[in-house]
Every structure is written in structure tokens, then in C-alpha cells.
Structure 1
């Protein structure tokens, strides 16, 4: 079991692929993933009407005493609107950013980082429809971008790469290499490239 701890924030209307793919990849690498609902309910329904059961509600996370190596935000609309409307979410992001905890956001979720004021001075990417809504130091048209402690990716189609890249950012490169092979991701890329 890895000693790494990851907090995944789920809001109603989250993008299911972006949440489940990353959670699955991290858990396959034995990372302790805690899925937190930002609402008063443990069950959170995504933008395509798939419901996930969270491990904990955000109200029970103590941002001053609970240590995580990474905080991850899936995108999805209206999920990102709900994340950005939560002062607890924004406070958590600001505090963990101040502590240089890794913060990952995919698709529309980099906009939540923008709302928290933590994209300044960073390079980032997002879903193309959110490019004009975020104002990093530099916008990158890349699958995955790491800029200091800020990790961003573009959308549902890049979710698996996001999961593997998060493992690498956590220092679990060997797990990322193994899972890319075991999950047939390398095979897919090889076949698509031919």
C-alpha cells in the first residue's frame, strides 16, 4: 500500500469519466484515495446521471490538520459551477496551494483553480471551451501540463493520461509504467500511431 494520500472532490454534475478513471488508476497503484462529496449527501450524481458514493463529506475534512499529497478536481458542468460556488472548496484549494500540495484539475475544473486565485504564475490547460475563462501565465494546448504544484489536463478523453501523470507527479513512476502496460494503454497508443 502506498503511503500517498489523494483527496478527490465531487460536486453534483461532475464528469464521471474524469472522476472514475483517475480514482481507478490511483487505487490500482494502491494510493489511498478519499472521495469527498461537497454536499450534505454521501451520494453524488454526475452530469450523465451516474451516481457515486463518496467516502466522506467535505464538511468533515479539516484543511489545517488533514494531510494529502494531492487534491484532484474532475470537470463537468454543472459540477465545476458547484465547486466554484463552495467557499469551503476555494478555501481548501488556497490552503493546500499555499502548502505546495499537488493540485490536479481536468477539463473545466481549471476554472475552479482560477476562481480560487491559484493559477497566477502557472502554465495550464483546460477544455477548449474554458480557455478564455482561465488566465494562467501561459495557456498550453497539451494533453497534460505540470507547472509547479498545479497539474491540468483537457477532458474526458485525456482522463487515463491524467491518472498516469498524477502517479508520476506523486513519485510513483514505476506504477505508472506498469499500469500503462497492464491496462493496454501503450497498446492503444501504438496502434493509433500506426
Structure 2
């Protein structure tokens, strides 16, 4: 496993995040030595969901979106869930953070419904991506080349479809950070 003790990773999430898509990548990154910071609109606990049906664990953000300085991070990880990226794509600062990471060609990893935020940030035109099946038309409409694969790596951009893909998603993020 790569030693990521110098790596600094930002995760952004809001109420409605899919718990395993936040906690599992965070756990894997921290186990590899990375420092992971969670940002949201406020630092009050945010509500996780299991399958968008039942409430699950909460997570307490470390910083607000407004406090994020993109220069402080090497990668951005976007967990899914239906409500989470739907809320984030209406937050100008969240969209700006995604755009800044992409403009700086830093690693951006999005799973499940999180690529909605990539579409909102207008950063996937001509890029090869995947996402949860119900958002694939949205991704195509944003100009992406959408495929149905467990993990898709297009330069600095890493995308996956669903919780079943988390092991491959985590491996791809850790490998990219290890380069």
C-alpha cells in the first residue's frame, strides 16, 4: 500500500450523504497515512443515509466550505447519496471548489450520485466518467463520455458507480495519490 503521510485530502458532503461512501474512503485514506478533512456548509453534524431510505451515522465536518483553501489539498473526494450532491450543486462555493481542483489538475474522485456536482461545475465535457445509473443521462447531457464500469480514471478524474465499487474506488484514489 502507498504511504500517503504527506497527502492532504478534502471531502465535501452535506445532509443525505451515503454513509459508506464517506466513511469507507476516509478510513482507507487515513489507513494509508493521508490527512482527511471534511467540509460542509456548516460544522454542525451532517446526516448520513443508508440507501437514501434510512438514517444512518452522522459526520461532523472539520471546516466550512467557505474556510476551504484548495491550495491546502492534494485531492478532493465526493461521496454520493441522492440528497448530498443535490444540495451541494446548489452551493456556489462547493461548485467553485470542484472547478478549482479540476483547473489545478488535482485528483478529483466522485462516486454514485456525486458526479452530479461535476456536471454542475461544468468540468466533465469530453471526459470519460461513470456514475449511478439514474444520473448517467445528466452526465451525457453535460458532455461526458459515460461508461458502465466500477471505476473510471480519466487523467486526474476518478469516478465510480455505487457502494459495491468502493474497494476499486479507494484503490484508485490511493494509487493516484501515491504517484
TM-score (norm 1): 0.82
Partner of 1:97: 102
The yes-or-no answer on 1:142 pairing with 2:142 is: no
Distance 1:41 1:34 in 2: 12
1:113-132 CA distance string (max 9 Å, x none)? 01100001210000111111
Instruction: Note the 1:105-184 alignment, pairs <5 A.
Output: 105-135=110-140, 136-171=143-178
Distance 1:19 1:58 in 2: 16
Instruction: Note the 1:12-91 alignment, pairs <5 A.
Output: 12-36=15-39, 38-48=40-50, 49=55, 50-63=57-70, 66-91=71-96
The yes-or-no answer on 1:4 pairing with 2:7 is: yes
What's the CA shift for 1:26? 0.4
Larger radius of gyration: 1
How many residues align structurally? 169
- Structure 1 unaligned segments of length 5 or more: list them: 173-194
RMSD between aligned residues: 1.4
> Counting strand residues as a fraction of each chain, which structure ranks higher?
2
- Structure 2 unaligned segments of length 5 or more: list them: none
